Amino acid sequence: MRKVISFIGACVVLSAIAFVTVSPIEWRPDDIFGVNEDRALAFAILSGLFTAAYPRRWRLVALGTTGIACGLEIMQLLSASRHAEIEDAVVKASGALAGIALALLCRQIWFILNARRHRDARRIIAHTSPGISAVFFDPADGLLRLRFTDGKERLFAGVDQGAVTGLLQTPEPMRYYRTHIESRYEQRLAA
């Protein structure tokens, strides 16, 4: 859902930027800040939204938004009342790169805060346990992922904290798994 909303927002912002950049000068809205600050801010918002939609493709977003900045400046040559300048393209591209950096920083902060909130969500059984090599549990949604010594994984939904605690504390985790987890909880495909 975040991806769709961010993408739609980026498309709306791109449309607004294209209209303001290419339309006749008398149609241009008043500046909120200075001219260069408005340009940089618009492209920072654009690239930030695209980065929020596609965080792993931030390099492509950087290339695309920089290309859009240059392309829109070139398109101004088609309008008699507008003029294209390299400085404007540089300001727009700089704003785009700043927006990407800010979006990636916000994403990293979100992951750090989320990891702190669920710091006991990941628990690992020692590798000496027969049959089970690792246990990953998120108490927020009750998802339990078990990794077995043969390399297979199982994912269970709706598991309560007590069942996981029992699995972690029992001297025979495979027996506990078969009697208390495998037979009682809904198994999902491990992703």
Residue 84 contacts residue 76 (beta carbons within 8 Å) = yes
Decide: 100 and 47 in contact? Cβ < 8 Å. Answer: yes
Both structure tokens of 129: 């346990």
Q: What is the largest CA-CA distance in the chain?
A: 81
Mean pLDDT of 183-191: 66
Query: Considering the chain, what is the average pLDDT of its residues?
Result: 82
Q: pTM of the full predicted structure?
A: 0.60
Whether the per-residue pLDDT at 46 is higher than 70: the answer is: yes
pLDDT in tens, 7-20: 999 999 999 988 88
Q: Which residues pair with 153 in a beta bridge?
A: 147
